[in-house]
Structure 1
């Protein structure tokens, strides 16, 4: 058995080296089939930790396996299985995050909701109408109160549209999206405030010190290039920059203290 496992690993590494040197769809598919057991093993493990079907997780896992095959470098000396596991598992977790909701529902209620979806269609055909809460609860062998909680939980897990109206004004209505902060605008506003404070601090410096800082930090020149440009030694440039930074820090610190809560 050990010899057979060693032979499979050796054959797999030979195929990986061949794929690295000359990629082809046929060789990639052979590598996928050879490592399919790794995908199935991880899919089984993840399926016991979520409510998604094993088959869906397995299919998603193959995408991670393909990415691992395409990015694996045989010369690095790493076992392919160790390299591939994070890709396979990561692809499944991305899939679960995309399908997940911010409201976490107990596993029992998730199972009840799935069972209700299965039997509701049959009950509609039998009754000729939508079943009421008492009939659904009876079919699921739960209390009416619990069935109503399951329905409410399933309804609340669905994201609310940003176009949903939250209040009305005389000439317009305010949507949920209108009440959300624009993080990009806030970030740009903070950057603009920082820039203005930096400009005010720079304005307090003497001209030669300010020029040295601008040449080095804004124009990307080396201290040697700045020294040649303004006619001083690189050490003098370094001292001026350090002195200027110290002065700017002293200027900005009182403002920072004023803005802290």
Structure 2
């Protein structure tokens, strides 16, 4: 799809969302679904090569994720709907495949790219005293930013997530991630794949700086001091953003729990 067509799609989708969220007209919702079916087809094409499921079945499952994304998307936040919707679509398909007994594996090419990215991040931090952004990483790896984001998400989904990392610095008021996840069945030392996807969907709604800090603390298990050193900011700034981000994350996840 050309850049112009992508921009037209983004603008048309946003316009439809603004009308749909004011009126609740299901005809507008159906137009949004039709307009963004390409996102579902792309995910279905990716996964059909890793299983024995029918392509059309995967499209139908992906559409369920697309509808969930439509119901949760807030057009006033300025995010692109495509970026918001892909984790929902992918998560729905992955959940379906796991229920069918498939083991979701990371392709060899992505494993190689992941190793290259790790080395690139280390060298970049040494040179510039900060972590590279997604655009800089994709350029260094000579791949599109979309592919890099898929690689990154695949690795994030594979890694166990610690729920016992301390959130606040207050000695008398320490909060762990498990304290903000509403369902008691989540209270274990690792978060299962479906719940990681749910958490990542909530993280995707945060602004970039706050989201990156939470990812360092919870997805990569860094301390707040290590996170501050990685990002070239103060520990106080990290602490404030973690507190702010968790308040927003808690609100989002509690809303989705009901």
Same fold (TM over 0.5): no
TM band (smaller chain): 0.3 to 0.5
TM-score by length of 2: 0.38
Higher relative contact order (CA 8 A, sep 6+): 2
**Higher Cα Rg, which structure:** 1
